[in-house]
């Protein structure tokens, strides 16, 4: 079953509520969930992850920000935040060891996921529009 839902956020507080709802309804009851986050630079992907991690029980001061240079931030209980923006080739992606993470259970939030050759459970797309943000969620 495929579910599609669109949200409109005009503030960080609204994005926080949206992230909490998505985690509650689509992520928190799974042992393994791959979440692709798509959108332009500055479209709200990392902010969304911060709020999703909070909804999963992470304290705000434990959030490490975007792993743009380290590629992966690993949090408690098998929760991972990946940022593949700086990856430039399939060879670099393979050599980074990213695929090794997916042999385990866990919740994976992945920014710039188009470089991966895996299937997501959820795709969240962020688009700026009229001073706000459209957040489209597709899940299977």
pLDDT at 65 over 80: no
51 vs 70 pLDDT, higher one: 51
Q: Are 43 and 79 in contact (CB under 8 A)?
A: no
pLDDT confidence band for 10 (50 / 70 / 90): very high
pTM of the prediction? 0.91
Where does 57-122 have alpha helices with state H? 90-96, 98-101
Q: To the nearest whole percent, how much of the chain has pLDDT over 90?
A: 66
Average pLDDT over residues 61-80: 82
Domains of the chain: 3-139 (3.40.50.300)
**C-alpha angle with apex 98: 92 to 102, nearest 5 degrees?**
150
Q: Are 26 and 52 in contact (CB under 8 A)?
A: no
5 vs 63 pLDDT, higher one: 5
């Amino acid at each position: 079953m495929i579910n599609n839902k669109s949200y409109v956020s005009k503030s960080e507080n609204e994005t926080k509520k949206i992230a909490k709802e998505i985690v509650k309804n689509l992520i928190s009851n799974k042992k393994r969930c791959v979440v692709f986050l798509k959108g332009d630079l500055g479209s709200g992907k990392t902010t969304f992850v911060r709020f999703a991690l909070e909804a999963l029980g992470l304290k705000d001061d434990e959030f490490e920000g975007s792993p743009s240079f380290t590629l992966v931030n690993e949090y408690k209980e098998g929760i991972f935040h990946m940022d593949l923006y700086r990856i430039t080739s399939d060879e670099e992606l393979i050599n980074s060891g990213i695929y090794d993470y997916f042999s385990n259970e866990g919740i994976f939030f992945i920014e710039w996921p188009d470089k991966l050759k895996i299937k997501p459970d959820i795709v969240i797309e962020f688009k700026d529009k009229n001073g706000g943000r459209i957040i489209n969620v597709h899940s299977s």
